[in-house]
Structure 1
């Protein structure tokens, strides 16, 4: 971008709007650059730790004997419990392939741990504290900066402002005095700020669609826009479950910390309750309802590869069979499925698959695994390039700002100047109103900045000098 002329009064309206967009692009970037850097780095950490080492022991392998006959799940669970004699089994994760371990989640004295068991010999291969690894550390930062609710709100604001950054960036990039090819291919022979501007613009246009997808799917987990608005309107209606009794708990109770483990559309849906006699045919009639009969039912109704079975919690709790791409169970989001079984009768109380989701929930069921890089090696490579591009955009934006600053401006922010012949409130307020309705926290933040910029920065000489 060329430096702004001091004679802003004589600027044409399109030029003035361009300069106003540049100022808002600068303000949005000023806030979001550190957050985008953190999200890109922690996102790559999670993807590669998950791909190489796994999140829940899914990468641990064993030798398959000639007969290839695994022990019953109950026998494997008994072996796992020897690691924690006072514990109870909370969940069983079936191995994705024949040579993968079975993993049991145990709870003892309020602490949860994971035990990997050789399904053929019952030997304990490995055990670890649940959600205490590097993956979970990175996920904690990625989810809420390890700050809980305040961190969640900061990241929601950053994501909303990042959308402003993308939209204003596209407007600034739009070819006006050059060909489309010149707009997407950087001039590598340029020097100085023009060189950085060319790379910033070209890489920005390539990554803009992926970045928008990242931002939307990431914001769907946030506490205001995600939980209160989008997710609330797209929660699966429990009324579809043929009038089965409902628990006071929602599916979100099955999550642990910031890590989502149940489908997005089910998090706010009440769990069905056992003990009513409702439901349809499930486990084999006359057989006791145990982990073994539930595992047999899972195989009979089409669950394969990796899936998980959660044990009933409490007198009205249910057995839950779940396969979810978001949890690294499969690479096909369309195979996601959740089934609840009465712990007393073995009847199926509820069954929800991808086809039952709303349109937004289907988009999230596909978008979240893509966001996490779980849909194959190609997805991992694409997301890596996207994360590296985001890091470059942040660095190059800072470099361009630094190169634009005049000498002796160490304590000045040097925001792009506001064109005085631009109706400041009219265009900006339309954008702010839209953002306030679509993304409340980001909208409120921008309205605040707009007010400060208009009321204080323009009228207080010290602030006008610092920003201008």
Structure 2
């Protein structure tokens, strides 16, 4: 008969609940770093296509005028003459060869050797440019579609052909880029005593650390500039610029004058055949607008109007809003008369369009675009060298609750950027649904 061993006596049951293991500072720091890395990873998946797209289209737009100068000098340059044809006659010459097209803008050059550019509505939503000799009033030719990179690159940069949904997608990309910069700065912050040496990549490190440093150091160098460019782009978007910024200006009494025709104040409508454009041109020149003038056809009370802006002026720039019926001045504003928010938006427009730094502007903005492409490439390489074989390499979900400071920061960011909040909510719901439909994935997560 087998001998049964006597069970060991049980310890007396305690009436005091066992305390959970203490959460150390190291655990909290590790969990916060994991959370930042997870957000940085998700942001990169959303942002890299946006950054590459906007960098390419923006750089193409910056240099498109120079390309047209080299490719079509017969359209861009004319032989100066003592007399100038009336601006109305120049626009009429463009309309005769393009009947049925509405005029959205006119660029009058201060250089007598330059042609006048009349921008008309084109096929499939892309604009068409007609070039007119300002001295003889004859059409030199026109460019549309792929032949006019200034038109299609600007349209693509602004969300064409999707319209407002395209602008929303670009705004979401800009918002997540801000989140990626903030989380990236936290991940980069030196915790190993390197201090200022963390600004320099460790070129002898090898492996994924080599690519990580090439990515992180350049990102830190350009972090403030990245956020600045994103902030200058947001006023152009249909949601943040058309709703959030407008509501904020109204609440604070910071509305821009209607004459200040920078985005997103006005939308083009098309000019009538009897516009007294020559009278408007004379008034603009008489009020000190000596540079290249952009006549933008707009909707403005008490009816259709024309906004005139000096494309090259800075600091003392003036804006005019003129009636398209009789050419009288409806409103005049100078940069110094703009309220603080409107002045910041106008400054951002100049920086974003590479006008603020004069002839160096396109080179500065191009260098910035190349830095963004560099960040995408090195970040992708660092991920590829580090990720497990056969897996996406997404960081695991944090196990602890959000710290209150992080909650407050996220709340401020979500209130400031509503589309960031909406897209983050959609991602969270998608993840919850994905885990709910696959219990095995829930255990793995």
- The residue aligned with 1:267 is 266
Could you give the per-residue CA deviations for residues 353-410 of structure 1, whole angstroms, max 9, x where no partner exists? Answer: 3223221211111112311223323221121121111112112222111111223xx2
Match of 1:37 in 2: 52
Quick one: distance in 2 between partners of 1:158 and 1:401? 20
Q: Distance in 1 between matches of 2:299 and 2:166?
A: 31
Question: Per-residue displacement from partner, 1:194-244 (whole Å, max 9, x unpaired)?
Answer: 111111111101111111122122222223222111134337989998xxx
Deviations 1:122-143 (CA, angstroms, capped at 9, x unpaired): 3322223489733332333322
- List aligned pairs for 1:59-458, cutoff 5 A: 60-65=76-81, 68-77=82-91, 79-84=93-98, 92-105=106-119, 113-129=128-144, 133-144=148-159, 146-234=161-249, 262-264=261-263, 266-267=265-266, 290-309=276-295, 317=303, 320-324=306-310, 329-330=311-312, 332=314, 334-341=316-323, 343-344=325-326, 346-375=327-356, 376-407=358-389, 410=390, 412-420=391-399, 422-424=400-402, 426=404, 429-450=407-428, 457=435
Taking the aligned partners of 2:188 and 2:341, their CA distance within structure 1 comes to 30
Q: Show structure 1 runs of 5+ residues with no match.
A: 1-8, 242-249, 252-260, 272-287
CA contact (8 A) 1:20 1:419 kept: yes
Q: Is the contact between residue 106 and residue 117 of structure 2 (CA under 8 Å) also seen in structure 1?
A: yes
Residues 74 and 187 (structure 1), Cα distance of their counterparts in 2 relative to 1, 3 Å cut: same
Pair 1:194–1:289, CA change in 2 (3 A): closer
Partner Cα distance (2:146, 2:321) in 1: 25
* Higher alpha-carbon deviation: 130-139 or 112-121: 130-139
1:26 positional shift? 1.1
Taking structure 1 as reference, are residues 337 and 49 closer, same or farther at Cα in structure 2, changes over 3 Å only? same
Contact conserved, 1:73 with 1:291, CA < 8 A, in 2? Answer: yes
TM-score computed with the length of structure 1 as normaliser: 0.75
Count of residue correspondences: 413
Q: CA RMSD in A?
A: 4.1
Quick one: distance in 1 between partners of 2:300 and 2:225? 43
Report if aligned partners of 2:90, 2:132 keep a CA contact under 8 Å in 1: yes
Q: Which residue in 2 is equivalent to 1:247?
A: none
How far off is 1:168 after superposition?
0.7
Structure 1 residue 156: Cα displacement: 1.8
Larger radius of gyration: 2
- C-alpha displacement of 1:320: 2.6
Q: Residues 358 and 313 from structure 1, CA distance in 2 versus in 1: closer, same or farther, beyond 3 angstroms?
A: closer
Three-state SS of the structure 2 residue aligned to 1:264 is coil
Q: Given the superposition, is the C-alpha separation of residues 21 and 290 from structure 1 closer, same or farther in structure 2, using an over 3 Å criterion?
A: closer
**Structure 2 CA distance for aligned equivalents of residues 38 and 64 of structure 1:** 40
User: Cα distance 1:312–1:335, how it changes in 2: closer, same or farther (>3 A)?
Assistant: closer
C-alpha distance in 2, partners of 1:459/1:84?
A: 58
| Comparing 192-201 and 212-221, the one that deviates more | 212-221
